[in-house]
Amino acid sequence: MKLTVLGCGTVVPELEKHMAGHLLEIDGKKYLFDAGPGTVYQILKAKVDIRCIDHMFFTHFHNDHISDLPALIWVYHSRLKRERPLNLYGPPGFVEYADLLSTKIIRAGELECELNPKEHDEDEFEVDGMKISTKKMKHMETIGYRVEHKGKVFVYTGDTAFFPGLIEFAKGADVFLCECALLKENVTNNLHMIPEECGRVAKEAGVKNLVLTHMYPETTAEKTMKIVKKTFDGEVIIAKDLMTIEM
């Protein structure tokens, strides 16, 4: 497995950070997790052919996680063609969302590809021999993803506040890609994680590599790392755009 961070940012625009987007490579195949603004551009910068991505997974409907989905579909309007269906996965309500895109905004009849949207809540399914589990997160209608293949485990939270079930969901992850939006003193609602909680989950879940992403500008790497390391003594990585992590 190899993870490429396409965008590690938040809804707050920053020059050095694109919004949420992550590319997971397994046995030479590439899988997209979320697609905030600029994801298409970042895929190209990562030297990846968009046409090789057959499966795209979305955590929720906030624009910083999904707004480049229309662009990813529209590339198949006329210039690019694909013979395989484009498989799209998301939380409850996703099929309706995808249908709206394909009928009112993009007009699927003009596309040179077949769209295959599916929605998940808390269930398990297989894609290319991988076991994929989804779990409700504590953040509007959001699901996290757990991918297991050949003894390796990748877990991605999307956006979420802490809840006890997250520990079991992340258990034994080789890479735990966890949002860490806010420092404790900046919390104004119960929608995101703080460093203390990220460290706790990583420790109690026994993860190997904790990758922190979705950090607001005031959530500095130095402060965050110092807090997390008080609890978790494993590998801690602050995500950066176009960073790659091997598992």
3-state secondary structure of 71: helix
pLDDT, one tens digit per residue, over 174-213 is: 999 999 999 999 888 889 999 999 999 999 999 999 999 9
Question: Is 75:68 a contact under the CB 8 Å cutoff?
Answer: no
Mean per-residue pLDDT, 108-122:
84
* Least confident residue range of 8-22, 134-148, 183-197: 183-197
Confidence of residue 108 (pLDDT cuts 50, 70, 90): low
Per-residue model confidence (pLDDT) at position 91 = 98
Residue 202 belongs to a domain with what CATH number? Answer: 3.60.15.10
What pLDDT does 98 receive? 92
Over 90: is that where the pLDDT of 120 sits?
A: yes
Number of domains in the chain: 1
- Mean of pLDDT values over 83-88: 93
- φ and ψ at residue 226, rounded to 5 degrees: -60, -40
% of residues, the chain, pLDDT over 70: 97
The secondary structure of 20-63 as a DSSP string is: SEEEEEETTEEEEEEE-TTHHHHHHHTT--GGGEEEEE-----H
Residue 107: pLDDT band (50, 70, 90) is: low
Residues linked to residue 145 through DSSP beta bridges, in sequence order:
134, 156
Domain that holds residue 210: 2-246
